[in-house]
Chain A
Amino acid sequence: MSSQRTLEQAPVQSLAPRHYSTINWVGLQTLYLKEVRRFMSVATQTILAPMVTTLLFLAVFVLALGHAVDKVAGEPYMAFLAPGLIMMAITQNAFANTSSSILISKIQGNIVDLLMPPLTPLERTIGMAGGGLTRGIMVGVATWVAMVPFVPLSAAHPQFILFHALMASLLMSLVGVLAGVWAEKFDHMAAITNFIVTPAAFLSGTFYSAERLPPFWQKVAHMNPLFYMIDGFRYGFIGHADGSLIAGILVLLGANAALLWLTHRLFATGYHLKA
């Protein structure tokens, strides 16, 4: 009844595209919630499984090397290793969330659900990246909580922990969007993971202190954005950084700005999506 009355009373101009204010909040919220619910419905695989594998990594390295390591950066090996491993879990899962979401949607054909709704490229970018960011942070928190019984973790500089966790998670979820847009088959994604993401994470200074590396490997580490994420994040816990903190913050801000711009361009032009 009421809807009929509104229709009768409504002026003719109402047959026009629906208007939103500058940002389509409802649409943005819907996209974000869709992305979060996608991984929360299989939380054992997306949150618990990474937590367990990260703990296994901790156990393996501490068992294999812990007894022979005196101190790293003034800390027991475990306390040095733990922040790096948490960061590794954050980055891998932020990447996995956005990349798999887009690739699976492309393969199953429901990518139109992302492309058709009245969302601007910016809203799409934020909604997608927000989902990956949330997964990364949730995995990070879960891993942290699981490690607490085994590793004495203090927080020397909480603001660094928060900043680096957010920046790293955002960065890798944006990289995941790019990878998902570019890839056409699961093979492509496996190649990106095997050749780029995993090596970058493994050789980033999670497991060793870059300070003590031979010069060549030190240079390799300093060219790796993941090095700065882990280094700054670890500084937040133990109060010691291998590289320059300012450089790290600038690299992360710069990389995120560039990736946001690039993702926005891709969504705006429809590259590999609307073709």
Chain B
Amino acid sequence: MSYALQARRFGPVNWIGCLSLLRRQFKNGFSDLHYTILGPVISNALYLLLFVIASSSLTQLDPQGIVTFIAPGLISFSIAERAFEVSGANLIFEKHERTHMDWLMAPLTPTERACCFALSSTIGGLVVGAAVGLMTLLFVPAQVVHPLALMFFAVATGMMHGLIGTLLGIWAAKWDQYTALHTFVLLPLAFLSGVFAPVGGMPEAAQHLIAFNPIFYLIDGFRYGVIGEAAADLRLSTAVAIGINAGLFAWVHYWFRTGYRLKS
């Protein structure tokens, strides 16, 4: 056996490195569980309670119908928020503390880094989404009409927001920029995407605008998985989900490869 000094060799994938980066992401993202899980669970329960009280006291609408419609949207929304935060907030924090050197120096390819960021955010989002989903059972009967569609769109939502969070985390130099983009771009896109109201009932101009909102297709697909009704063509929603994620992944990969704002 020779112990000649040479570069360490991995197979095509550095599995140990990937696992380490994933574990690191989880440790950063799930340090205070009751803050990250209980917060969304409570605020979403309040949203549902509000809609029950408001619709039953103000309108002739069936509160059950409204809540059944809104609940999947809220689950999808909480997956998105958490996934975004796992990668985005983490990255800015690490850039401030300069600890991102740890994974920039490690022998990982850009593909591996991008995969780990996408995966950790997706899982983080799904954990919160599952908790919020369990909470909604207080308001709506448990039903999943198309489990495959539900899983696909849940993962696509988490991954998309994880990748957006990664891009924003790489780009933003300060917390201000990060929160500004979140509040002024991402939050309006999510709120005005048909989370709370059927698109069919909106003015025509609003419907045309919403057709350009990618989050609308993700939420719509997810809702199709839960209640079996979709506003958009399911094939279109699937195509948007795959296309957006592929595009964002390529973008993240490019930035990791060139070291944009990370290695400079």
Q: Which residues of A contact B (CB under 8 A)?
A: 42, 44-45, 48-49, 52-53, 56, 59-61, 63-65, 67-69, 72, 77, 186-187, 190-191, 194-195, 198-199, 202-203, 207-209, 212-213, 217
Binds A, one of B34-42, B131-139, B240-248: B34-42
**Nearest-neighbor residue (CB-CB) of B194 within chain A:** A63
Given A53-B183, A56-B188, A65–B42 Cβ distance below 8 Å? no
Is B106 interfacial (CB 8 A cutoff)? Answer: no
The residue among B54, B176, B195 with the most chain A CB atoms within 10 A of its own CB is B54
Is B192 interfacial (CB 8 A cutoff)? Answer: yes
* Chain B residues with CB below 8 A from A69, complex form: 58-59
Is B180 interfacial (CB 8 A cutoff)? Answer: yes
* Chain A residues with CB below 8 A from B35, complex form: 186-187, 190
A64 near B187: Cβ-Cβ < 8 Å? no
A64 near B43: Cβ-Cβ < 8 Å? no
A209 near B58: Cβ-Cβ < 8 Å? yes
Q: Could you pull out 22 A-B pairs where Cβ atoms are within 8 angstroms? A: A44-B180, A48-B183, A49-B180, A52-B183, A52-B184, A59-B192, A60-B195, A63-B201, A64-B51, A64-B197, A68-B59, A68-B60, A194-B38, A194-B42, A198-B43, A198-B46, A203-B49, A207-B50, A207-B53, A208-B50, A208-B54, A208-B57
B179 near A45: Cβ-Cβ < 8 Å? yes
Is B202 interfacial (CB 8 A cutoff)? Answer: yes
Is B227 interfacial (CB 8 A cutoff)? Answer: no
* Chain B residues with CB below 8 A from A77, complex form: 58
A31 to B179, CA, bound (A): 27
A186 to B39, CA, bound (A): 13
* Chain A residues with CB below 8 A from B202, complex form: 63
**Nearest-neighbor residue (CB-CB) of A217 within chain B:** B53
Given A63-B202, A195-B42, A209–B57 Cβ distance below 8 Å? yes
* Chain A residues with CB below 8 A from B188, complex form: 52, 56
B58 near A63: Cβ-Cβ < 8 Å? no
A61 to B42, CA, bound (A): 19
Closest 3 CB pairs of A and B: A68-B59, A64-B197, A63-B197
CB distance from A234 to the nearest CB of B (A): 15
Contact residue range for chain B?
35 or more
B58 near A199: Cβ-Cβ < 8 Å? no
A77 to B180, CA, bound (A): 30
A49 near B179: Cβ-Cβ < 8 Å? yes
**Nearest-neighbor residue (CB-CB) of B188 within chain A:** A56
* Chain B residues with CB below 8 A from A186, complex form: 35
Given A44-B176, A194-B38, A198-B43, A65–B54 Cβ distance below 8 Å? yes
Given A52-B183, A52-B187, A64-B197, A207–B54 Cβ distance below 8 Å? yes
Q: Which of B32, B38, B58 contacts A65 (CB 8 A)?
A: B58
**Nearest-neighbor residue (CB-CB) of A185 within chain B:** B32
A41 to B230, CA, bound (A): 45
B43 near A194: Cβ-Cβ < 8 Å? yes
B184 near A190: Cβ-Cβ < 8 Å? no
Is B191 interfacial (CB 8 A cutoff)? Answer: yes
CB distance from B36 to the nearest CB of A (A): 10
**Nearest-neighbor residue (CB-CB) of A206 within chain B:** B50
CB distance from B54 to the nearest CB of A (A): 4
* Chain B residues with CB below 8 A from A59, complex form: 191-192
A52 to B66, CA, bound (A): 25
**Nearest-neighbor residue (CB-CB) of B40 within chain A:** A194
Given A49-B179, A53-B183, A64-B66, A212–B192 Cβ distance below 8 Å? no
A45 to B191, CA, bound (A): 18
A64 to B48, CA, bound (A): 12
Given A45-B179, A53-B183, A60-B197, A65–B53 Cβ distance below 8 Å? no
* Chain A residues with CB below 8 A from B179, complex form: 45, 49
* Chain A residues with CB below 8 A from B60, complex form: 68
Given A53-B183, A56-B191, A60-B196, A213–B54 Cβ distance below 8 Å? no
Question: What sequence of 0s and 1s flags, for each residue 165-206 of chain B, a beta carbon within 8 Å of any chain A beta carbon?
Answer: 000000000001001100110011001100111000110000
* Chain B residues with CB below 8 A from A48, complex form: 183-184
CB distance from B186 to the nearest CB of A (A): 11
* Chain B residues with CB below 8 A from A208, complex form: 50, 53-54, 57-58
* Chain A residues with CB below 8 A from B55, complex form: 65, 68
CB distance from B196 to the nearest CB of A (A): 4
A203 to B43, CA, bound (A): 12
Is B61 interfacial (CB 8 A cutoff)? Answer: yes
Q: A65-B54, A208-B57 are in contact. List 18 more A-B contacts (CB 8 A).
A: A44-B180, A52-B183, A52-B187, A52-B188, A53-B183, A59-B191, A60-B195, A64-B196, A65-B55, A68-B55, A69-B59, A187-B35, A194-B38, A194-B39, A198-B43, A202-B46, A203-B49, A208-B54
B201 near A67: Cβ-Cβ < 8 Å? yes
**Nearest-neighbor residue (CB-CB) of B53 within chain A:** A208
